């Protein structure tokens, strides 16, 4: 495989999106609609989100077209004659997108992305956009917490073997790089995104040889550069001593980047013992790499305990965002044909109108209307990234998103950065948006009860 991620097509949607789009077209409801994509609330134990997935979302929208083949597939799914689906043929995305750039830190309750396009187009895009942004924002946010927990020590991605699909593994590696991971074991991702490829060896390699020493010698002969030996296949302390002996025999001097990896057991205690053995062997700069079920919680405990671990390798728990594998995200209509609209459902009410987020120092955000004046000492967060169905600029390098993340992380209040019991920043709502919300709520409420103009 090339390592490039597949761009979803028009069939990547829920069936009811097709039914609604067809009804809109038959009723000539093709006026301009604005949909807002946002996260209602943070998952437990999260102090912030990292906006991610925009690049793949824009690629999807640029390629969103319905031809005769797609219409035939929709007709089959709906058990209807293909002629009934002809109004959809030729539909493509021609709208505008305003979005938070990848890498920016955001609280819940703010739009990550807003789409303005003819109603059938904007409706059809819902499912894929929610999938792309929700999954990637969840994983990026989890990975960012690992970087915080490591407190300056390198973190690397080992997640490919257990992510929910090859594509998810590619995304996990890319998102790790976005928030500052030092490398990935995923060769396809390293090639595609210009990331350092990292790795050690498996227990099977050690087991295949007569003993650990033979295995380590064989590995070093095959890889004359810096090597990292997995030392816990049998007895960990003995494995560390064997690794130290092989490194000395082969003339691997301190500072060459060699290391040992601990993958099981009490990693903190074993790291202390391993450091003692390595230092006693005259190898104080041989690194200790820790892996095995780690995420930000495990890293945080090890760092706070003072464990002499130099590199943290994270896999399954981070690649699938195990403790928060989904976001409570939504894609809601906020304006149609010049008319602000809102949903009044209990606990799921939405605010009307196209929006902007105005950011002040310390991630002090105000959610307002797109066309209102910014409050003093703030800057708009959402940018126009697509117009007329095309990007306004080419895809940004991953390094640019990483710089955004690092700048926002420096601004994030300490309480939101905490691994345990974080306190997320709370955005406020502008007076203009509050007034519009009250007006629309009254209007919608009157119509819902039959009290007032239809």
DSSP 65: B
* Residue 453 predicted with pLDDT over 60: no
The answer to whether residues 323 and 45 touch, using CB atoms and an 8 Å cutoff, is yes
Rounded to the nearest angstrom, the gap between the alpha carbon of residue 30 and the centroid of all alpha carbons in its chain is 33
The answer to whether residues 283 and 247 touch, using CB atoms and an 8 Å cutoff, is yes
pLDDT tens digits, one per residue of 82-113: 999 999 999 999 999 999 999 999 999 999 99
* Residue 255 predicted with pLDDT over 60: no
CB burial string 315-338: b at 16+ within 10 A, e below: bbbbbbbeebeebebbbbbbbbee
Q: What is the DSSP string of 129-166?
A: HHHHHHHHHHHHHHHHHHHHHHTTS-EEE--GGGSSSH
- What integer best gives the mean pLDDT of the chain? 94
pLDDT at position 325? 96
The answer to whether residues 260 and 231 touch, using CB atoms and an 8 Å cutoff, is yes
Rounded to the nearest angstrom, the gap between the alpha carbon of residue 269 and the centroid of all alpha carbons in its chain is 33
pLDDT top residue among 320 and 451: 320
Q: What is the mean pLDDT of residues 153-172?
A: 96
CA separation for the pair 159, 156 (Å, rounded): 9
pLDDT at position 224? 78
* Residue 367 predicted with pLDDT over 70: yes
The residue whose two tokens read 């149609």 is 336
Say which residues have a Cβ less than 8 Å from residue 119's Cβ, sequence separation at least 6: 24, 29, 30, 31, 32, 33, 336
Q: Which residues pair with 329 in a beta bridge?
A: 39
The residues spanned by each domain of the chain are 15-139+324-449, 151-319
The answer to whether residues 392 and 330 touch, using CB atoms and an 8 Å cutoff, is no
DSSP 104: -
Tokens of 390: 């095309």
* Residue 454 predicted with pLDDT over 50: no
pLDDT at position 251? 74
Q: What is the mean pLDDT of residues 446-452?
A: 64
Q: What is the mean pLDDT of residues 432-441?
A: 95
Q: Residue 449: which pLDDT band, with cuts at 50, 70 and 90?
A: low
Query: For 56-70, 137-151, 298-312, 340-354, which range has the lowest pLDDT when averaged over its residues?
Result: 340-354
Which CATH class, in words, describes the domain spanning 151-319?
alpha beta
pLDDT at position 225? 78
pLDDT top residue among 196 and 7: 196
Residues in the chain: 454
Angle at 112 between CA 111 and CA 117, to 5 degrees: 80
CA separation for the pair 261, 257 (Å, rounded): 13
Q: Residue 448: which pLDDT band, with cuts at 50, 70 and 90?
A: low
* Residue 321 predicted with pLDDT over 80: yes
Containing 69, the helix (H) or strand (E) segment is helix 68-78
* Residue 253 predicted with pLDDT over 70: no
Q: What is the DSSP string of 200-260?
A: ---HHHHHHSSSHHHHHHHHHHH--S--EEE--SS-HHHHHHHHHHHHHHTT--TTS--EE
CA separation for the pair 193, 211 (Å, rounded): 38
Q: What is the mean pLDDT of residues 442-447?
A: 80
Burial class (CB in 10 A: 0-12, 13-18, 19+), 404: buried
Q: Residue 1: which pLDDT band, with cuts at 50, 70 and 90?
A: very low
pLDDT at position 327? 97
pTM: 0.94
pLDDT at position 6? 82
CATH superfamily, domain 15-139+324-449, is nicotinate phosphoribosyltransferase (3.20.140.10)
pLDDT at position 445? 75
pLDDT at position 66? 97
């Amino acid at each position: 495989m090339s390592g490039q991620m597949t761009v979803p097509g028009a069939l990547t949607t829920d069936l009811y999106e097709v039914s609604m789009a067809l009804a809109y077209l038959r009723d000539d409801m093709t006026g301009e609609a604005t949909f807002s994509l946002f996260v209602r609330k943070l998952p437990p134990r999260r102090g912030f989100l990292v906006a991610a997935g925009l690049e793949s979302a824009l690629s999807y929208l640029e390629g969103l077209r319905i031809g005769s083949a797609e219409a035939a597939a929709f007709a089959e799914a709906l058990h209807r004659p293909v002629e009934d689906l002809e109004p959809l043929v030729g539909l493509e995305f021609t709208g505008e997108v305003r979005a938070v750039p990848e890498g920016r830190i955001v609280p819940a309750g703010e739009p990550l992305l807003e789409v303005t396009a003819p109603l059938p187009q904007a409706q059809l895009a819902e499912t894929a956009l929610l999938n792309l942004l929700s999954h990637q924002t969840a994983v990026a946010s989890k990975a960012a917490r690992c970087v915080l927990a490591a407190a300056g020590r390198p973190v690397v991605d080992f997640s490919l073997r257990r992510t929910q699909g090859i594509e998810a593994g590619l995304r996990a590696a890319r998102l790790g790089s976005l928030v500052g991971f030092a490398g990935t074991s995923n060769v396809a991702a390293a090639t595609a995104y210009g990331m350092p490829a990292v790795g050690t060896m498996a227990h099977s390699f050690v087991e295949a040889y007569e003993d650990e020493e033979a295995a380590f010698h064989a590995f070093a002969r095959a890889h004359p550069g810096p090597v990292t030996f997995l030392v816990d296949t049998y007895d960990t302390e003995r494995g560390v001593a064997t690794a130290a002996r092989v490194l000395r025999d082969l003339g691997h001097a301190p500072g060459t980047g060699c290391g040992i990896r601990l993958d099981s057991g009490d990693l903190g205690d074993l790291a202390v013992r391993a450091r003692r053995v390595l230092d006693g062997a005259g190898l104080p700069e041989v690194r200790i790499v820790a892996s095995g079920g780690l995420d930000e919680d495990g890293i945080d405990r090890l760092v706070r305990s003072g464990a002499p671990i130099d590199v943290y390798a994270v896999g399954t728990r981070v690649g699938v965002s195990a403790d928060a594998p989904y976001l409570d995200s939504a894609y809601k209509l906020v304006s149609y044909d010049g008319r602000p609209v809102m949903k009044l459902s209990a606990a799921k009410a939405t605010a009307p109108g196209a929006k902007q987020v105005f950011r002040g120092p310390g991630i002090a955000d105000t959610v307002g209307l797109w066309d209102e004046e910014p409050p003093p000492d703030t800057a708009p967060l959402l940018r126009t990234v697509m117009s007329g169905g095309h990007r306004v600029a080419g895809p940004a390098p991953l390094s640019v998103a990483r710089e955004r993340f690092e700048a926002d992380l420096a601004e994030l209040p300490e309480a939101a950065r905490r691994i345990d019991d974080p306190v997320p920043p709370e955005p406020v709502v502008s007076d203009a948006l509050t007034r519009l919300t009250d007006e629309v709520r009254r209007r919608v409420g009157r119509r819902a009860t039959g009290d007032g103009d239809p």
